Chains A and B, each alone.
Chain A
Amino acid sequence: MVAEKKKEKERLFHLVKRNDIEPWKKWIIRIASVIIAALLAGGIFAVVAKDSAAFGGFFKEMWKGSFGTQRLAYVFTSDWAILMCISLAVTPAFKMRFWNIGAEGQTLAGALGAAIILYYLGGKIVEPVVILFMFAAALFMGMLWAVIPAIFKAIWGTNETLFTLMMNYVAIQLTNFFVNLWTRGTQTTMGNLGNGTIHGILGIPYIQNAVIVAIVTIIIFIYLRYFKHGYELEVVGESQNTAKYIGINVKKVIIRTMLLSGVICGLAGFLLVGGSPTPTINAELVAGRGFTAILVSWLSKFGPLAMIFVTAFVVFLQTGAKQGSNTYHIGASSAYSDIIVGLFFLIIIASEFFLNYRIKFRKKEGK
C-alpha cells in the first residue's frame, strides 16, 4: 500500500478535466487530427499500391471519385442525403444518452415497409397513392423498430444498446425472408420494383432526397434548440434524477424521443427505396450507414448544422477511397474505404481526449 502511494507521487504528469477550451484551440486539434489521418491514409495507399506517386494521386482520385463527373456528384448528393438523414435520426436519442445502435435495422425496416407496399400495390393503383402508402409504411416500420426497445428501456430498464443491436438482425432476416418469398429463393436481392418513385424536383434528377433531408435538418435543429421537448431530452440525458425532480416524465420522454428517431430512420428507409430511380430491396441496402451515422452524429457533437459538413466529409472519404483503390487496382475497394473511414474515425475519436482533458506536468521542485 505504501509502495503504491509512492509510485503515485513520482508520476510525471496527471490529467485534469477541462470544462472550457478556446474555440481556436479546438479547431487546431481537430484539423491536426484530420491531417494526421489523411497523411496515414495516403501513406498506406502508397505502400499498398507500391508507387510513391500514389501518395499524391490518392487525394486527386478521392476528389475525382466524389465530384469528377456530374453523375458522380449526383450520387454523392444522394449518398449524403441518406447518411445525413440517419445521423439526424440517432441524434435526439444520443442527446438523451439512449444508446440506440439500431439505426441500421430501423432504416432497413422502413425500407422494407416501403418495398412491401410497392411490391403488392405498385402498378395497381395510381402512383401518388402508392408513394403515400409507401411513405406511411416506412415511417411506421421505422418507428416500430425504435419504439419496442424504448418501451422496455423506459419500463424495465432493459439495456438498449444490446436490444437495438439485436433488432438490426431481426430486420435483416425479415428482409431476407421477404426477398426469398418474392423471388422464390432464387435471388438475394429484388430486381427493379418498378414505379412508385419520386423523380427529381423541378427537373433536377436525384436531388429529391437532398431536398427532403435538408428540410428535416432544419426541423430537427429547431426542435432540439427551441422546443421544450428538445430541452427535456437533454435534461434526461444529463441526469434522470434532476429530470424527475423538476417533474419531467422520464419514461414518456424516452419513448417519445425514440419514436422521433424511428420515424426519421423510417424516412431514410423510404428515401432508399422510393428515392431511388430503380427501387429495390435487399438486406445490404443500408450498407452499414446505420453504424456510420452513430459516429457522424457523435463527431458533430449532436449538432445538426455541423453534421451537414461531417456527413459530407465521411461520404467524400468513402466514395473517394473506393475510386482510388479502383484506379490503382489494389483490390477490394469497399474494404479499402472501410479502412480509411475507420482510420479517420479512430484518430478523430482519440483527439477528443485533448479537448476534454489537459495534461499537467509535475513541476520538478515539488510545490
Chain B
Amino acid sequence: MLVFIKSAIRFATIFLFGSTGETITEKSGHLNLGTPGIMCLGALGGCIGASLYMESLGINAEIINQTEQVAAAAANINGFAAILLCILFAMIFAGAGGLIYGFLTITLRCNQNVTGLAITTFGAGITNFFINYVDRSGFNYLAAKFTAPISGSDDWFSTIFLSHGALVYTAIVLALVVAFVFKKTRVGLNLTAIGENPATADAAGINVTGYKYTSCVLGGAIAGLGGLFYIMDYLYGSWEYAMEDLGWLAVALVIFSVWKPNWGILGSILFGAFYIMPSYVDVSFAAKELIKMVPYVATILILIFTSILNRRESQPPAALGLSYFREER
C-alpha cells in the first residue's frame, strides 16, 4: 500500500507539471491543445541537455561498453548541475513550442484549437523522431540523480513524503506558487481579467499581448518539465511513445482541478493512482482497462457538475478559445 501511494505520487508529477503549465496558459484565455506535443518537446529538450552533459564528462556511445571507464566518469556527475541543465533545456524547448503557439494564436490570431492540434502532431512527431538520434548512453547513471530520494529509510512517513526525486517536490512547490500568484497577487488578477474579458483588461491599461505571450511561453515551459520528468525519472532515461496520451490527461486535469493548481496536486495524485492501479490489483486484464477509464469519466463528471452548478469560481475563463483583436467591435 505504501509503495502504491509512493508510485502514485511519483506518476502524478507528470500530470501536475502539465496541468500547472496548461492552467497558466488557459488563464490568459488560450486553450492550448498543443500541450501533449509541448510536453514531448520538453522531454526531447531535457534529453539533449542530459546528452550534452554526459558528453562533457566523456560518456558517449563509443565508450559505453567499457563499463569501468564509464562508471569512473559517472562518479563525477554533479547531480545539482545536471538536473538544472536538463531543466533549462527542457524549458527552452517546451517554451519554444509555447512561443510558436503563442505567435500563431496571439499575433496571427489563428484558431486556437486547430493550432494546438497541429502543435501536438508536430511536437510529438519531432520528439519521437529525433529522440532516437540523441546519444542516451549512460543515462541510467544520470537518472539515478533524478530519482535520488531525500531519505532512504522505509518507515511510512519517509516512504510517502521523503522518498521522491527532486522534480517531484519542484512540481508541488511550483503548483503552490502558481496558485498563490493567481489568488493573491496583482499579476494573477490581471491574468484572470484577461482570460475573462481581454477588451476590458485592455481598457484598464493592462498589457494584454505581453501577458498572453508570457503565459503561453511560461505555461509551455512548465508543461515541458512533465516530459523531462517522464523520461529522466519515470523511465530512467529510456523513451516510450505514451507521452502524448499522458499529455491529454494533463489537459483533463486542468478541468478536474477547476483551474486551481493547488487542487491539481490532489487531482494529479488521484489520476496517478488510477493510472497505476491496474498493476497493483489482481483483476482480469479487461477490468484493468476499465479502471484506466476512471480519470476520464471523473473529469467528465466534474465538467458536468461545474456547468450545472454554474458557480462563478469554478467556470472556465470566459474568453477561453477566443482570439482578441483590439479593433474588432
Contact = CB atoms under 8 A, between A and B. Distances in A.
B121 interface: yes
A173 B255 contact: no
A24 interface: no
A158 B307 contact: yes
Nearest to B100: A346
Contacts of A221: none
Given A99-B113, A291-B121, A174 B307 contact: no
Contact of B289 (A166, A167, A180, A184): A180
Contacts of A352: 108, 110
B285 A184 contact: yes
B117 interface: yes
A343 interface: yes
Contacts of B111: 298, 349
A173 B293 contact: yes
B187 interface: no
A356 B293 CA distance: 42
Interface residues of B, number: 57
Contacts of B268: none
Given A101-B113, A338-B128, A158 B205 contact: no
Contacts of A165: 33, 248, 251-252
B297 interface: yes
Interface stretch (B49-57, B81-89, B155-163, B320-328): B320-328
Interface stretch (A56-64, A206-214, A328-336): A328-336
A332 B132 contact: yes
Contacts of A291: 117, 120-121
Contact of A336 (B109, B129, B316): B129
A93 to B, nearest CB: 12
Contacts of A337: 125
A162 interface: yes
Given A166-B299, A349-B115, A352-B110, A338 B125 contact: yes
Contact of A167 (B133, B288, B300): B300
Interface in A317-367: 331-332, 334-343, 345-346, 349-350, 352-353, 356-357
Contact of B325 (A4, A17, A170, A177): A17
Nearest to A186: B285
Interface in B25-47: 31, 33, 37
A343 B124 CA distance: 12
B289 A173 contact: yes
Given A17-B325, A152-B307, A349-B114, A101 B125 contact: no
Nearest to A340: B125
25 contacts: A17-B325, A101-B113, A152-B304, A152-B307, A159-B307, A162-B251, A166-B252, A167-B300, A169-B252, A170-B297, A170-B300, A173-B289, A173-B293, A173-B296, A291-B120, A292-B121, A335-B127, A335-B128, A338-B121, A339-B125, A342-B123, A346-B100, A346-B122, A352-B108, A357-B109
Q: Which 3 A-B pairs have the closest CB atoms?
A: A185-B285, A342-B122, A338-B125
